[in-house]
Every structure is written in structure tokens, then in C-alpha cells.
Amino acid sequence: MHDLLTGAGLADARATDVARGLGLDKTLAWKLAHFIGDDAPEAARHMPGPNAIEIVLKAATKAGVARQRVDAARDADARLRAFMTEHAGDRRTFEAILAGATPDEALMLEERRAFFRAGSTLWGVRAQAQFLLLALRPSPETPGTLDILQLSGFIALERLRPDVPWIIRRLRASDDTGAQMYQIPRIPLDPEGVTTGGMPLIPDFCSSPLPEIRQTEASNGWIYDELVPGALGKSGAATIVNGEVMPAVVPSEHADDNTFARYMLTVRTPIEHVQVDLLIHEDLPHFDAPRCSVVGLLEDRATPQAHDGMLLQEPGPATSLGTPAAVRSRRIPDYAHMATSALQRAGWPTPDAFRGYRFSSEYPPAPCEINLRCPINPR
């Protein structure tokens, strides 16, 4: 196709010039300009269809391009489409294969958005955002352990079917191997907001009336909080914010079975935006900056270490919020106030005493798990 445009005197021309030179529709000329670039996934996304290719070839013939060049382009188009059919079956699958071999963030975002829309319809639920803030400090009451403050929830969680209950939180803590389960003492940030089942809501930050939550605890140590069926659509949208402190819940010092701290947010709800913040107190300098990864949960794997087999996003550094931590968010309304208020309610220092790190993403592919992993160094 590049040779065809060269024959028309339009080599490396802009899309507007191609449209004018060949008398093409501007949209077709734009697709053609992107198709003949060097990036294979980008080319596959913008490849004109067979009818559009014929329009281009006829326009090139009319513009005086040699028949040999036109026939060569037609033959190449036929061979490429035969190749796609043989190896992928259809064009969409061919695009997916290219995207997997050479990830393209714009393409993957487009696919995740489509997955969000389909999942919302199929599961009957969706949310504007899901977030988790974890703050760590050395326990003043039990040396050698961590106090953990947790603030988490959903913004504008909508039900699209009337019969849908939805698990909105799972919680447990364990050692490196996942074998030793730690008992989790839990102190609500707002005692007046604790539901009948025990979920520590913060009513000031929740929608009104408060969403109805029921809680169960499984024999394997997991605690489940579930939103019961309710009103549909935006009129029944629920903002659910909960917060608690878990004092002296896990070891804070390096040991043979405590070489890293791993914090997880499980995403099982179709959501537009996810955000995970980790605030590390200045008295924990031996906690390295976390690295983040996104792990698929379509398979059930035996140990936390084995999860690397379903990586959806390679481990990479979290975004630093700086020291002191700047806990602001343009995607979560009133987030800075919620974070500061949570620390105040717990009697903890302000964000100035912490260094902060963040992972955020648009349309995460549920079910998946956001992992923040901090190496714990010997003192």
C-alpha cells in the first residue's frame, strides 16, 4: 500500500493530502495512513476492510498509478487476509494475538472498557470506582508488630438487576506462605456505623440511607461482606465506605518467614476506576517502596508465589505520592478529606508522617487482584 501511494505521488503524505489526492473519504484516508505505519498492532486496528481496499485501488488507478502496483497491492491484501484466517480465524482474534505479543496500552484500554460494559450487563452490577487505602505504623502497644489502618469502599455501586447480591469485601492476613493465618482484631473508625453483620461503615462518607450489608466468616479465615439486593440504577446507587484499625496484626520486622509485606485488593466487580494507596510511617524505613502487579483470578492457584503465572501486568514501581504523602484523587470525590479524617478518627498522625505510594488503573479486568509488595529489610 505504501508503494501504491508512492506511485500516486503521496509517499508519506498526511491523511488530508491522501484524501485530496485520491478523492477518498477523510475517514478512509486516515485509516490508510495509520495502516501503512511500522507498528503491527496499530496497523491491524486500522486495516481497511476488503470493500474499502477496492475503493482505494480504483482511486489509485484513476489517479494514474501503474496497473502493476495496483495488482501487487490487491494480491498482498488477499494474502494477508488468508494468513489471518489460517492462523487466527478472524480479524478480531488476529488483533488480540498481535496485542498480546506487543502490548499496546491504548488498545488494551479499549478492550478493558468493552469488557467492563459486557460484564456490567451480564453480572447486573457496576461501580464508578473501588478504592483501598492502607496506612502502616509500628504498634506503640506491641513492639515488633504493625498497626494497619484500612479505608476502603465503592463509589456509586449500581445494581442493574433486582435480584443481585454482591460481595464487596474479603479480608484475611497470613505469613509469606499463606499457611499461618493471623487473627485479626478490628477496631471500627466509627463505632456508630458498624452494621448488624459487623462491617465498619463510616456513615459520613456513605450514601443515604445506609446500604444493607450482611457478613459471614468462612472456615478458611476469609471474612465476606455482602451488599443485599436493592433498588436499580442510579437512583439506587450506593457509595460504601468502611474503615477500621487492626492493631498489632502482623510482624513488622524482617524474619525468615517475613521477608516482604504483601497487600492485596481483589477486584471482582465491573468498575471504571481502581485505586490502591499505601502509606508507610516514617518509623518504618526498612520497608522498601512497593512494586505493583495485576494478577488474573480465573485460575485457582495453590500459593501466593504461584500467582505469577497469571500476571496481567508485570510488576513495576508504584507511583510515589511523595513525603509527606499527598493523598488526593481526581477520580474519587472527597478522597483527601476521607483519608485525613480516617487518620484523625484513629488518633494517628496526619499524612505528613507517612510516605505514600499509589496504584491506579482504568477498567481493571475483573476478576483480578492488585498486589503491592514491599520488601522488608533487616534493621
Quote the Cα angle for 118-122-125, to 5°.
95
* The model scores a pTM over 0.85: no
**What does the pLDDT read at residue 113?**
93
**Residues 144-163 pLDDT 10s:** 999 999 999 999 999 998 88
- Listed in sequence order, the DSSP H helices in the chain are 2-7, 15-22, 26-35, 40-46, 50-62, 67-87, 91-101, 105-123, 335-346
Domain ranges of the chain: 2-101, 126-375
Q: Which residue ranges of the chain lie beneath pLDDT 70?
A: 38, 100-104, 172-183, 221, 300-311, 314
- Please report the pLDDT score of residue 102 as a whole number: 64
Joined together, the cell numbers standing for residue 52 give: 474499502
Q: Which residues pair with 47 in a beta bridge?
A: none
Selection from 99, 158, 95, 96 nearest residue 124 by Cα: 158
Q: What is the DSSP secondary-structure string of 290-350?
A: PEEEEEE-SS--SSGGGGGGGEEEEEEEPEEEETTT----SSSTTHHHHHHHHHHHHTPPP
pLDDT of residue 304: 47
Cis preceding linkage at 315, omega within 30? no
What local confidence, expressed as pLDDT, does residue 101 receive?
67
pLDDT of residue 311: 65
What pLDDT is attached to residue 154?
A: 95
The edge-to-edge listing of strands for the beta sheet with 187-188 is 187-188, 238-251, 145-159, 125-138, 271-281, 354-362, 319-322
